[in-house]
Amino acid sequence: DQLDPKVYELFDGYVHNQFSRREFMDRLSVYAVGGLTIPAILDYLLPKYQEAQKVKPNDPRLDSAYIYYESPNGGGTMKALLSKPKDATEKLPGVVVVHENRGLNPHIEDVGRRVALEGFVSIAPDALTPLGGYPGNDDAGRELQRQRDKGEMLEDFIAAFQYLAQHPACTGSVGVVGFCFGGWVSNMMAVKVADLKAAVPFYGGQPSAEEVPAIQAPLLLHFGGLDERVNAGWPAYEAALMEHQKAYTACFYPEVKHGFHNDTTPRFDEEAASLAWTRTIEFFRAHL
């Protein structure tokens, strides 16, 4: 890896809205030395969706299509990608797949299809639907998502859970997996949804200690060892989970960054992502 680790810290701050694009570019200029240019650094950092796609949108093994569902306490009529194995002969468990802080981009659609190939019905909603949907690039997606109320977006994913649980292709046993913002949603759905059967937050923000007693679903939590921002909230969360005797497994992956599962960016760590994914699918098979 040719980049100074502080470049990744800067990028993490930028993508989590800690400072503007102009300030990010100004700070980045310090590291444009030794033949490295700012455009080259940006090209390296930004996602490569087509190159990393594991399951194509037209994969013949899947029925995968956009659908609409109602979220009366959130954004109203919501768009989502619904995917299921084409050869399924009986009802399957369901998984809600929750995007990061930039809307339903091609990477999270790909993750939804990966889940379906493992023998589940997956639904991957787009929280940007009320604002016109994912705009085609992550920078614009982040700007749009900042305009939505966090609590209303949580309601959109809870409504997706309810839609999936009642879907004719689903057994009614439904879990959730989410990444970054979606990790926070996964934690909060465990708090808010009594019928949720399993929650898998990847590097997600935590509920308050006061909210933990409401959790019913078993948790599998994935953390990047270098993700100081998210990991800072874990000790208090774990203490509350232990105090209230909640079922949880926390997995820390040493020396990997926030976003390590996203294989479209250089923060991706193949070994950690593969292990976390295997654990996630096994967890869903055990609990759904």
Residue ranges per domain, the chain? 5-45, 51-287
Structure tokens at 30: 């310090």
Q: Under a CB-based contact definition with an 8 Å cutoff, are residues 264 and 48 in contact?
A: yes
pLDDT score of 242 more than 80: yes
User: Mean pLDDT throughout 146-153?
Assistant: 98
Q: Is the pLDDT of residue 1 over 60?
A: no
pLDDT of residue 285: 99
How far is it, in rounded angstroms, from Cα 38 to Cα 25?
A: 8
Q: What is the pTM of this model?
A: 0.90
Q: What is the mean pLDDT of residues 24-36?
A: 79
Average the pLDDT over each of 43-57, 134-148, 209-223, 239-253 and give the range with the smallest value.
43-57
- What does the H/E/C string look like for the chain? CCCCHHHHHHHHHHHCCCCCHHHHHHHHHHHCCCCCCHHHHHHHHCCCHHHHCCCCCCCCCEEEEEEEEEECCCCEEEEEEEEEECCCCCCEEEEEEECCCCCCCHHHHHHHHHHHHCCCEEEEECCCHHHCCCCCCHHHHHHHHCCCCHHHHHHHHHHHHHHHHCCCCEEEEEEEEEECHHHHHHHHHHHHCCCCCEEEEECCCCCCHHHHHHCCCCEEEEEECCCHHHHCCHHHHHHHHHHCCCCEEEEEECCCCCCCCCCCCCCCCHHHHHHHHHHHHHHHHHHC
Residues 6 or more apart in contact with residue 279 via CB below 8 angstroms: 220, 222, 251
Tell me the per-residue pLDDT of 40-74, one tens digit each, with 9 for 90 and over: 777 777 777 766 688 999 999 999 999 999 999 99
Position 260 confidence tier, pLDDT thresholds 50, 70, 90: very high
| Mean pLDDT of the 228-257 span | 98
Mean pLDDT computed over 195-207: 98
Q: Give the residue-averaged pLDDT of 73-86.
A: 98
Query: What confidence tier does 186 reach under pLDDT thresholds 50, 70, 90?
Result: very high
76-85/121-125 β-pairing: antiparallel
What is the reported pLDDT for 174? Answer: 99
How far is Cα 196 from Cα 253, in angstroms, rounded to an integer? Answer: 26
Q: What is the average pLDDT across 118-143? A: 96
Q: What angle do CA 78, 92, 206 make, to 5 degrees?
A: 55
Q: Kindly state the average pLDDT of the residues 229-253.
A: 98
Does residue 2 carry a pLDDT above 70? no
CATH classification (class only), 51-287: alpha beta
